[in-house]
A = this chain, B = another copy of it.
Amino acid sequence: MTKTTLVSLADSLGVSRQTISNVINAPHRVKPETRARVEAAISASGYRPSAAARQLRTRRSMNLGLRLMPVHDGINGSILDRFLHALTETAQRDGYRLTLFCADSDADEIHQYEELLQVSDIDGFVLTGTHHGDQRTAWLLDHDVPFAAFGRPWNDAEDPRRSRHAWVDVDGGAGTAEATAAFLDDGHASIGFLGWPAGSGAGDDRRAGWQRTLAAAGVAPGRIQELTASIDDGVQTGAVAARHLIAAGATAIVCVSDSLALGAAMELRRAFPGVPAAVTGFDDTPVAAAVGLSSVAQPIEAAARHAVAVLTHQLAETTTGGAGVPAPEQHLLLPAALVRRTPYPLDTGIPTAGTP
């Protein structure tokens, strides 16, 4: 390595890394003679402790906190993992690191905020999974903690565009509307919706996109009601719920997730043999691509980049009192896009021929 680094400097001076770090960040901890010697060496070497200097200048830790959501299902988990990767890369380009934590609930997440603010000196948070009655955003606002949410506020009384906090989200409802319209174009008259139990903001929004498209096509409210099923996420639950929708006459099914869609695809193939399953999932996961399932894709990397931009701008404002850089959009709804595929046959019946 030709570049002077903290380590090469420490080696050449015969002092510890910590001593050099203290000279930069906490000079009062270092004996005056050592401090003078290290400072002279720093000047002579051309060593540029860029991140450390910035940290000192801004009095920020340059760490952002993110709760790692539990893995319920490896299929749908991939979307949050893509978000995490994009977040880490973007934050690092801006000089920030990401600190991860786990929590069992909103209340526990708030408890973790407190501990992280106190112990790890976190500068701000990125939230995911906003939902009805979310206590986390209120807590962060009340305590003046900088944050950006992936997910709009879902409180009925509030217009998301007037929210007191920054958010970026994807227009899932427009995605399911597009999927529903595509099935109408294909000639399907009875299009079912397989969703999560009511109360999840994103899930309700996706159901609403399907519902308003059927209503606009003249489907009666009572019929729309018959064509929807709500169930916890999963391939098996998807298969079970799809059976009910097919019994109610559905020939195509729009799903809130790829896991449910995978189960629904099996049932549609069983009900309509020899016909590609008319089903769409959500999130365009690797599983959807692998089995040829149509799915609504979220621009998740763009959402992550925007969340970081909003948060780092907030932090810069806090420190400099406004550097004159225009703020990124505080409330941003990104478009979703339907990815149409013709599915490989997914059959539960196994051929009876033996191995070669």
Contact = CB atoms under 8 A, between A and B. Distances in A.
Contacts of A74: 78, 82, 285-286, 289
Interface string A318-354: 0000000000000000000000001011111011011
Interface stretch (A115-123, A154-162, A199-207, A220-228): A115-123
Given A81-B81, A101-B88, A286 B117 contact: no
B100 A88 contact: yes
Interface residues of A, number: 74
A51 interface: yes
Interface stretch (A34-42, A65-73, A306-314): A65-73
Contacts of A302: none
A85 interface: yes
A5 B114 contact: yes
Contacts of A187: 355
A51 to B, nearest CB: 4
A63 interface: yes
Given A97-B120, A355-B188, A114 B77 contact: no
Q: How many identical chains are in the complex?
A: 2
Interface in A68-102: 68, 70-71, 73-75, 77-78, 81-82, 84-85, 88-89, 92, 97-102
Interface of A: 5-7, 17, 20-21, 28, 49, 51-52, 55, 61-63, 68, 70-71, 73-75, 77-78, 81-82, 84-85, 88-89, 92, 97-102, 111, 114-121, 143, 186-188, 235, 251, 262, 272, 274-276, 278, 285-287, 289-291, 342, 344-348, 350-351, 353-356
29 contacts: A5-B114, A6-B118, A21-B121, A51-B115, A51-B119, A52-B118, A62-B120, A71-B81, A74-B289, A77-B81, A88-B102, A97-B99, A98-B100, A99-B99, A100-B100, A187-B355, A188-B356, A274-B353, A275-B351, A275-B353, A275-B354, A276-B355, A278-B355, A285-B286, A287-B290, A290-B290, A290-B291, A291-B291, A344-B346
